[in-house]
Amino acid sequence: MQQYDLNLILNPNLSAEQVQIEKDYIENTLKNTGAEIVGLDDRESNTRLAYHIGKDREGRILFYTIKANGNPEKDIASSLRLRDHVRRVLVVKDRPEWKTKKA
């Protein structure tokens, strides 16, 4: 299994219950495709975006670290993009040479 970063931007107008529903759906999708969640970084507030997505200037950002086999862009991201409250999905392969080392 290789490690990937799954980055999502959600609708900024969601209530806490709706955000939890989206997180549960994302976790179920990951489990159904055979992926394993290593970590989750949830900003728990709306973040101002560098550019507009639709008419939204802000978004709720979720950073998942996952381990998956195959092609997670095809398997996971394609199903998450169909959700109404998911604005953007990005899957990036985690490579050790990209990490910076402190002296």
Predicted model pTM: 0.85
**What pLDDT is stored for residue 102 in this prediction?**
60
Continuous segment of H or E residues that includes residue 52: strand 36-53
- Rg of the chain's alpha carbons, rounded to an integer? 14
Structural domains of the chain, with CATH:
2-95 (3.30.70.60)
CA distance linking residue 66 with residue 6, whole number of Å = 7
The two structure tokens encoding residue 46: 């709306």
**What pLDDT is stored for residue 94 in this prediction?**
77
**What pLDDT is stored for residue 97 in this prediction?**
66
CB atoms < 10 A from the CB of 16, how many?
8
**What pLDDT is stored for residue 99 in this prediction?**
66
**What pLDDT is stored for residue 22 in this prediction?**
94
